[in-house]
Homo-oligomer: A and B are copies of this chain.
Amino acid sequence: MAKMIHSMIRVLDETRSVDFYSRAFGLAVADRVDFDTFTLIYMSNVETGFELELTVNKGRIAPYELGNAYGHLAVSVEEVAIERERLTKLGLHPGELVELNRDGKLFGLFFFISDPDGYKIEVLQRHGRFL
C-alpha cells in the first residue's frame, strides 16, 4: 500500500531554508543529493519517518509563485504557547495563537509561521486528533 514519505517544496536559498527548519522545528539534514541542475535536501527528525524535501534549482533567482491552492505542512508540539514564545525570541515572527472550537470543545490550538520562501507551517498543540 502507498506510504506517504515526503512533501516537496521548491526553495531559493538552501542555507536560509535549512537554518529555518532546523531552528524552528528541530529538523536536520538527513540527506543532501546534488545533481547538475538541482539539489535535493531531505530534512527530518526523530519524531517521524516523514521527511521534508527541499528542491533548490540552481541559478533560480526569481521567487516562486505560491498560488492559493497548497495550504501548509502541519507540525504538533507539546506546548504551543511556549513554542510560539521561543520562535518569537528567535526573530521568526510567528502569527497569533488561535483557538478553534467545535461543538463547544477545543478542536485545535495553533499558530502559523512562514518559512523564508513564504510557505505556511501550522504549529498545533498536541491535543485531540493532532498528536
Which residues of A are in contact with B by a Cβ distance under 8 Å? 1-10, 24-27, 31, 33, 35, 42, 44-50, 52-53, 55, 64-77, 83, 102, 107, 117-119, 122-124, 126, 129-131
Query: When the two chains form their complex, are residues A48 and B47 in contact, meaning their CB atoms are under 8 A apart?
Result: no
Query: Given A67-B65, A69-B10 in contact, is the A4-B53 Cβ separation under 8 Å?
Result: no
Number of identical protomers: 2
Query: When the two chains form their complex, are residues A69 and B70 in contact, meaning their CB atoms are under 8 A apart?
Result: yes
Tell me, rounded to whole Å, the shortest Cβ–Cβ distance linking A127 to chain B.
12
Query: When the two chains form their complex, are residues B3 and A76 in contact, meaning their CB atoms are under 8 A apart?
Result: yes
Query: When the two chains form their complex, are residues B72 and A8 in contact, meaning their CB atoms are under 8 A apart?
Result: yes
Shortest Cβ distance from A34 into B: residue: B102
Query: Given A1-B46, A2-B47, A102-B35 in contact, is the A53-B71 Cβ separation under 8 Å?
Result: yes
